[in-house]
Amino acid sequence: MSGRYERVIACNAAAAELGIKLGQRRSAAQALATSLHITPRQPAQELALLESLASWGLQFTPMVALDPPDGLLLEIEGSLRYFRGLPRLRTLIMQGLAELDMQVHVGLAPTPLAASWLARAGDVEPILDARTLAQRLGRLPLHWLPWPADLRHKLHGLGLRHLRQVLALPSGGLGRRFGPDLPLWLARALGDMPDPRQPYIPPDQFQRKIELNWATDQVEALGFVAKRLLAELAVFLMGRGLGVQQVVFTLRHEDRTQSSLDVGFGKPTRSADAMLAIARERLARLTLPAAVTHMGLSAQNLHRLDGQALTLFNDHEQRGDFSLLRARLAARLGESAVRNMVCVADHRPERAWQTTNMPVSSPTLTHGERPSWLLSQPKRLEIRFDQPWYGEPLALTSNAERIDAGWEDGERMERDYFQAEAPSGKRYWIFLDRSEATWYLHGLFG
């Protein structure tokens, strides 16, 4: 809805089937459909979405300009060779917009104003030759052009319905009769005058806020708002080759208080699906102090993602992403419930590892082959026929790995470790405690 008397500016297919049309007053639309769901226009959110799409468009060209209130201009001439021609580039742009669930009209012309007029009129046939601009633009109906309503009214009063009729008027009198803007627009659209545009420069951070149509205390409903916010964040990141590792959701409550929710992804990413999966896990564990009226999203620390190495056969997606899986588990179970196991620079096997909730690099230690499974406590072995015994005799199959460590912290260890094999084929890791001349089982080989 827009304007003093609230008129329809957009409607879906279901509303159109009921006879609702663009430009109808609200009262007329509600008379046709008593259960009509009406959403007031929110210009600030429309501009924020337009800016996110401008950032997305930077993946196709470095020159993107806003064409408010609902248009974008992409200068693609310099990108045609890189994308191997206009048909392929146009296909990539349209496919990308479809994946973003954006319904758009595209116009292609030698001048930005002509391209904008074509798009607004729904004329998808491109103009590739500047010499045909006047002929092609002349077909456009005046009511589709984004001109002031009083100007269109004056032109209609003279019986003018298409742009070709305006172009046929003497150029010298256009300015005197209709004001200086009309001849200027025509000259720029036809390429007779330059039409400089301010290039869009994306911000260094992503900030977005959505005002809910009504306050809600249902966490599930916030998941749908989070999906929209993260989709816009993904669009913002995609065009710039960036990723984000942590975001902050801010919730404004109806009692005017504010709360926040930090969500980490384990690694930089720009996948909307991956971010949403983790965010929903965190939201599911959230207790709201009061109903929410606004929900915002902030991503301050952005990371470069382009130029990362990929595997030859792209088997990464088949195996899954461990970092994102870990972040999702931590979001569901709590950060303290998910731990990483890392090596520690200690030759004593019991002290050579620890758990942490932070991704850290492990030191590289030089030692003999060790099993992947250690007993929680070494198990004392019997000696039969002068051999260590564990249900069956154990024969030593390696040289000794001597460990004499721990004297500096008062927990000295004097052991000789051996690999041993039993008649059954099982392999064991055993040691001789030299301080007490006793054999122990400490690990099992797979």
Q: Answer yes or no: do 21 and 65 share one domain.
A: no
- Whole-angstrom distance, CA of residue 227 vs CA of residue 66: 25
Q: What is the per-residue pLDDT for 6?
A: 83
Q: What are phi and psi of 397, to 5 degrees?
A: -125, 10
Cis geometry, peptide bond prior to residue 40 (ω within 30 degrees of 0): no
Asked if 95 and 214 sit in the same domain, the reply is: no
- Residue-number span of the structural domain to which 424 is assigned: 373-444
CA distances (Å), origin 56, targets 49, 81, 178, 232 = 11, 20, 38, 9
- Claim to verify: residue 297 and residue 171 sit in the same structural domain: no
Q: State how far the Cα of 427 lies from the Cα of 20, in Å rounded to an integer.
A: 79
Determine contact, residues 392/399, Cβ cutoff 8 Å. Answer: no
Both 270 and 396 in one domain: the answer is: no
Is 142 strand, coil or helix? Answer: helix
Q: Select from 281, 310, 333 the last residue of a domain.
A: 333
Q: What CATH number is given to the structural domain containing 18?
A: 3.40.1170
pLDDT tens, the chain, 446 aa long: 444 578 888 888 888 888 888 888 888 888 888 888 887 778 888 898 899 899 999 999 999 999 988 899 999 999 999 999 999 999 999 998 888 888 899 999 999 999 999 999 989 899 999 999 999 999 999 988 999 989 999 999 999 999 999 999 987 788 888 989 999 999 999 999 999 999 999 998 999 999 888 899 988 899 999 999 999 999 899 888 899 999 999 999 999 899 999 999 888 899 999 999 999 988 988 889 999 999 999 999 898 875 555 444 444 444 556 666 667 676 666 666 676 777 777 777 877 777 776 655 555 555 567 787 888 899 999 999 889 999 899 999 998 888 888 777 777 889 999 999 998 889 999 999 988 899 999 998 87
50 within a domain of the structure (yes/no):
yes
Q: SS3 for 336?
A: helix
> pTM of the entire structure?
0.63
CATH of the domain at 283: 3.30.1490.100
Our measurement of the distance from residue 435's CA atom to the centroid of its chain's CA atoms, rounded to an integer in Å, reads 60
Q: Of 301, 410, 298, whose CA–CA distance to 348 is shortest?
A: 410
Structure-block tokens of residue 32: 């046709």
Say if residue 2 is in the same domain as residue 131: no
85 and 129 assigned to the same domain: yes
Predicted local distance difference test score (pLDDT) of residue 34: 81
Residue 427: predicted pLDDT: 92
Residue 54, token pair as written in the block: 């401008």
d(CA 106, CA 102): 12
Are residues 56 and 9 part of one domain? no
Same domain, 56 and 163: yes
With H, G, I as helix, E, B as strand and everything else as coil, classify residue 145.
coil
Q: Is residue 399 part of a domain?
A: yes
Q: Residue 132: enclosing H or E segment and its boundaries?
A: none
Shared domain for 220 and 159, answered yes or no, is no
